[in-house]
Amino acid sequence: MTQKTDAQQTQSDLNRIGRKVVVIGAGPGGYVAALRAAALGGEVTVIEKEHPGGTCLNWGCIPSKIMKTSADTYMKIKEANEFGIKFDGTVIPDMALIMARKQRIVETQRKGILSLLQHAKVSFEQGRGYIKGEGIVAVINSDKDGNEHEKEIQFDALIIATGTAPLNIPAFPFNGDSILSSNDLLNLNEIPKSIVIVGGGVIGCEFACILSALGSSVTVVEAMSRLLPLPSVDESCSVILQREMKKRKIKLITDQVVEKAEKKDGKLIVTLGISPFVDKVKIEKMVKSGSKPHVIETDKMAVCIGRSPLSADLGLENIGLKANEKGWIEVNDKMETTISGVYAIGDILGPNHIMLAHVASHEGMVAAANAMSDKSMEGSDAVKMNYNAVPGAIFTMPEIGNVGLTEREAAAQGLDFTSSTVSFRTLGKAHSMGEIAGEAKIVADRATGKVIGVHITGPHATDLIAEGTLAVNLGLTVSDIARTIHAHPTLSEIMSEAALKGTDMAVHG
């Protein structure tokens, strides 16, 4: 890397000022990219066809956590006697009130984002943005009479952050009534008596826990052999979650898929078949045992099995940029597409990248830094995205937090590793909370002791994973964690106990 002289650095900084950056999409990737580009001296415009905050704020992370908080509160009230609290009144969850609270919080967050953009002198354009030609983006919006108006905006650099929408399955398309998308679940006006959730991934499992806690009879159908069949989720996390969901009377059906769903006498009749992912040996066993297709009668069915890219009407062809065959946009580690000066971030990159809000925000910062760089200057440095230490946060009951390699991934890479596991029931704080289900696992390189993965299932796992993320990111060892004093009585002691066990100095674990 060539060191810049003071004169070169000054000229580079001057060249940044007034550089026009356009961001299409104001989700957690887009608005963060806009703020970073503005902070670097850019003249920034954000285009958003709906509301600021993107899927995360409006149709995902925040609304679902609001619903989960209500579900958690309802469960705690129902269990009040266990905590020495007598409650003689009637407690009933009210979906209308839950949705009203959700809307208030979402509106507050939207205003907060707009305030940040305004303070940073970022222009916010409401409407559908598309690429009209080289260096030009157009914004289309409609007036109160339905007449469309188009406004052109020039750019030196473009950041695409349009995200995704729920994947609609042709065999049983969303109708907003009996067959629901994950978006529809966030707009329920009543708690369904019964619901089948298709897909045992993150979204499906989170909603299964929420709706079950609020009183629904829930069945989860998953095509794979376990819930949360993601490479980043350790199999032990799935085992614990499945056990705890069964305790909550959630029915779990794996290795099967929905073949059809038909409305009959006010009910939805859901017919299942053997999953295409099931191996021949297992199929033969199922046939020999006389296993018959499941037929489930339910009030509603929610389809939570994927997302589709919002890239079709972006005008990519007008600058020679092609999405792949599935509609995802491909980028390099600078978040730059095949077209110089055009970047893409967030869920529009597809499942080959990590589709999480906090990842999109970091991608946005990387894209903004590179969009604002003066590439004509000798020695200009590119900022690169690093995915080595990305935490996952799954808000099931109990929660799951993960970072780094699972045992299966470590083995697949041929690594010589060790793992140490400690149960939450060893912690006084967990007992005082009445939440002892779960465990923490630290996966480490045997030779160096470096932490290469942390997997937590249990109370507040999504908060506790931060320490594991720091350890993986900085290459800390299990001994580094074991030598760190953790406050007592806290849930964070689970990391201390797991690390002490990993260094053969177990106290309670």
Residue type, position 239, single letter: V
| Residues 406 and 233 sit within 8 Å (Cβ to Cβ) | yes
Residue type, position 173, single letter: P
3-state SS track over 365-396: HHHHHHHCCCCCCCCCCCCCCCCCCCCEEECC
Task: Provide the token pair at 20.
Answer: 């026009």
Q: If you search the block for the tokens 């952050």, which residue do you land on?
A: 161
Which residues, other chains included, contact 345 with Cβ-Cβ below 8 Å and sequence gap of 6+?
Answer: 29, 30, 33, 159, 160, 161, 331, 335, 360, 363, 364, 366, 367
Q: How far apart are CA 339 and CA 334, in angstroms?
A: 12
Task: Provide the token pair at 228.
Answer: 């949360």
Helix/strand number for the chain, H first, E second: 15, 23
Phi then psi for 302, rounded to 5 degrees?
-110, 130
Q: How far apart are CA 196 and CA 185, in angstroms?
A: 12
488 is catalytic: yes
Q: How far is CA 207 from the centre of its chain?
A: 13
Residues 119, 149, 431, 488: which is the catalytic one? 488
Q: How far apart are CA 317 and CA 57, in angstroms?
A: 30
Q: How far apart are CA 75 and CA 81, in angstroms?
A: 12
Task: Provide the token pair at 351.
Answer: 């499942």
Please report the DSSP string for 109-171 in residue order: HHHHHHHHHHHTT-EEEESEEEEEETTEEEEEEE-TTS-EEEEEEE-SEEEE---EEEPPPTT
Q: How far is CA 468 from the centre of its chain?
A: 18
Task: Provide the token pair at 208.
Answer: 């299964």
Catalytic residues: 488
